[in-house]
Amino acid sequence: MQRRSQTAVLAAASLLLAAGCSSGGGAPTATGGKSAAPKGKSSGAPATPSAAPSSTAPPAKGSVKVTGTLTTGLKSPWGVAVLPGGDLLVASRDTGKIVRVSADDGKTTELGSVPGVDPGGEGGLLGIAVSPSFGVDRQVYAYFTTASDNRIARMIYDEKRRPGDQLGAPDTILRGIPKGQIHNGGRIAFGPDKMLYAGTGETGDTGLAQDKTSLGGKVLRMTPDGQPAHGNPSADSVVYDYGHRNVQGLAWDDDKRLWASEFGQDTWDELNLIEPGKNYGWPQEEGKAKGGKAGSGFVDPVEEWKTKDASPSGIAYAKGSIWMASLRGERLWRIALNGTKPVAAPQAFLKGTYGRLRTVVSAGDGSLWLVTSNTDGRGKPRKGDDRILRLKVS
């Protein structure tokens, strides 16, 4: 790991992180390498989701108002992470670069490029996340495609260095996630338990989704060092659940329940409530159980959409609802929830107005940042694409 002589605190943090794992050959593969936290320690395990309704359910009908455009001219934006203070980090899938966007005036500053990114098809620099202890360790996490696999690495962000050279050497914490021309997953996010979660895809090899020894077609849960988190279904594995086709959206509600969006094949896209150890059915099942398949042991999605109306990527939680950005559907979906149950049919906004929508994130005040995806080779770029919009929602 690259060392820096910033402050004593940063130096100490770097030493601790270096002790965790290195970017050489020590990163865990498949089912991880090291065991979970020892017995008697704080588990960090997520609470079991409860279906209990919220004290106040959101209204059946909501609203969306675009209050402004934060910035334009982004190239193939994919992952977005919010820094303490509100500024955004945005990853470019095709260039491998990360830029910082000021939440005040939209000014963009290039931090640097992630080494080893091999873009192609649906791969490249995908999700990014900021450490829960960013104020101390200055760590930025990235999920990206290489020539051989998908992997997750972390880098120290040093603002004192010149723009374009502010990212330290990558420290790979997890390697061996299957790669393909399609279905690379890619979303990463830290949960309320301060563990790192990742949504992966089955790369078009459908059998990987049901193979518990593969990292493809899963939601993964790990420590910030990339080790299996205590409380996972298997103590020596980062696999948290299985049976997914291509997970690209992760978000937690106010009761710390994890939700994920998933690309279907030809029939149904999904919004799933994620629980440890559960099987979400792919490739045997797509969408909700139909034709007498109930009781198969697969978990049904909470909501489903025809693929032409959705093809979902990022999701966020705000104002009692899950908000889902749709690529092919070119719209933003609102799924209002009372506990784990929708209070009404999903509601669509901005249909066709801004083209393909890749990522939506909470701005922390009940509003949302919405990122378009028209320069990814599948959209029809318009003047100013790609852009970040500010939304006021209810």
pLDDT of residue 42: 40
d(CA 302, CA 275): 13
Q: How far apart are the first and last CA of the chain?
A: 44
User: In this structure, are residues 371 and 77 in contact, taking their beta carbons and an 8 Å threshold?
Assistant: yes
User: In the structure, what pLDDT confidence band is assigned to residue 364 with cuts at 50, 70 and 90?
Assistant: confident
The residues, any chain, with a CB within 8 Å of residue 241's CB and separated by 6 or more, are 218, 219, 233, 274, 275, 276, 277, 278, 279, 280
Q: Which residues pair with 285 in a beta bridge?
A: none
355 sits in the region (left: phi over 0; alpha: psi -120 to 50; else beta) called left
pLDDT surpassing 50 at residue 12:
no
Q: What is the pTM of this model?
A: 0.89
pLDDT surpassing 60 at residue 40:
no
pLDDT per residue as tens digits for the range 133-165 = 999 999 999 999 999 999 999 999 999 999 999
Architecture of domain 76-286+295-319: 6 Propeller (2.120)
User: In this structure, are residues 67 and 392 in contact, taking their beta carbons and an 8 Å threshold?
Assistant: yes
pLDDT of residue 136: 97
pLDDT of residue 296: 79
d(CA 311, CA 355): 13
Q: Which of 39-48, 174-183, 353-362, 375-384 has the lowest average pLDDT?
A: 39-48
pLDDT surpassing 50 at residue 2:
no
pLDDT of residue 53: 61
What the block records as the tokens of 326 is 């749709």
pLDDT surpassing 50 at residue 1:
no
d(CA 21, CA 23): 7
d(CA 182, CA 201): 8
pLDDT of residue 56: 82
d(CA 198, CA 175): 12
pLDDT of residue 31: 52
390 sits in the region (left: phi over 0; alpha: psi -120 to 50; else beta) called beta
User: In this structure, are residues 130 and 136 in contact, taking their beta carbons and an 8 Å threshold?
Assistant: no
pLDDT per residue as tens digits for the range 53-107 = 655 899 999 999 999 999 999 999 999 999 999 999 999 999 999 999 999 999 9
Q: What is the mean pLDDT of residues 180-188?
A: 98
Q: What is the mean pLDDT of residues 342-366?
A: 96
d(CA 171, CA 303): 38
d(CA 83, CA 44): 23
**Beta strand 97-101 with 88-92: parallel, antiparallel or unpaired?**
antiparallel
Count the neighbouring beta carbons within 10 Å of the beta carbon of residue 7. Answer: 10
Peptide bond into 386 cis (omega under 30): yes
Percent of the chain past pLDDT 90, that is, above it, reads 82
pLDDT of residue 36: 39
pLDDT surpassing 80 at residue 244:
yes
pLDDT of residue 366: 87
263 CB-side CA count, 13 A: 28
- Per DSSP (E only), the strands in 20-166 are 64-71, 77-82, 88-92, 97-101, 108-113, 125-130, 139-145, 150-156
Query: DSSP labels for 208-234?
Result: GGG-TTSSTTEEEEE-TTSSBPTTSSS
Give the position of tokens 């890749």. Answer: 358
User: In the structure, what pLDDT confidence band is assigned to residue 41 with cuts at 50, 70 and 90?
Assistant: very low
Query: DSSP labels for 91-122?
Result: EETTT-EEEEE-TTT--EEEEEE-TT---BTT
pLDDT of residue 30: 55
Q: Which of 208-217, 289-298, 361-370 has the lowest average pLDDT?
A: 289-298
Go through 89-103 and write b for each residue having 16 or more CB atoms within 10 A of its CB, e for each that does not.
bbbbbbbbbbbbbeb
At 16 the three-state DSSP class reads helix
Percent of the chain past pLDDT 70, that is, above it, reads 85
**Beta strand 258-262 with 247-252: parallel, antiparallel or unpaired?**
antiparallel
Q: What is the mean pLDDT of residues 7-28?
A: 40
d(CA 92, CA 113): 9
Q: What is the mean pLDDT of residues 291-297?
A: 64
Q: What is the mean pLDDT of residues 26-31?
A: 56
Amino acid present at 216: G
Peptide bond into 283 cis (omega under 30): yes
pLDDT of residue 217: 98
d(CA 181, CA 203): 7
